[in-house]
């Protein structure tokens, strides 16, 4: 069932955690956390923007078209990032998905940020 639902995933550009860290370091990427906002607030990739997949259309007007956009969600079988990449590429953006999700990112020891409703940093 997963293979059938994710049949187009092979055609999508994908970035692994190491590649994302490199892109973050050189500032060549915009990272979108497409999970629900509550999950973003509990922890996210540093510098990621919270753009839940159901709010993506409204956010398109502020996303730069001259930078790569990498979307991530809950894990390798979460389809929110796939949906985001499909929407973005259909609108002319250079978009990729993170091969890992946020739980794998955190478990691997990569840096994270947390924000409460007042926007404080960890």
Q: φ, ψ for residue 60 (rounded to 5)?
A: -55, -35
b or e along 78-103 (b: 16 or more beta carbons within 10 Å of the residue's beta carbon)?
bbbbbbbbbbbbeeebebbbbbbbbe
User: Among this protein's residues, is 73 annotated catalytic?
Assistant: yes
Q: What is the DSSP letter of 2?
A: H
Catalytic entry in 15, 73, 88, 95: 73
Q: Which residues are catalytic?
A: 73
């Amino acid at each position: 069932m997963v293979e059938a639902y994710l049949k187009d995933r092979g055609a999508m550009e994908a970035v692994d955690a190491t590649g994302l860290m490199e892109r973050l370091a050189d500032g060549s990427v915009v990272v979108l956390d497409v999970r629900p906002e509550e999950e973003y607030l509990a922890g996210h990739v540093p510098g990621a923007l919270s753009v839940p997949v159901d709010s993506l259309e409204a956010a398109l007007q502020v996303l730069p078209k001259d930078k790569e956009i990498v979307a991530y969600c809950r894990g390798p079988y979460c389809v929110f990032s796939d949906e985001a990449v499909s929407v973005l590429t259909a609108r002319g953006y250079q978009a990729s998905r993170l091969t890992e999700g946020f739980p794998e990112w955190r478990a691997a020891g990569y840096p994270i940020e947390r924000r409460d409703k007042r926007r404080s940093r960890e």
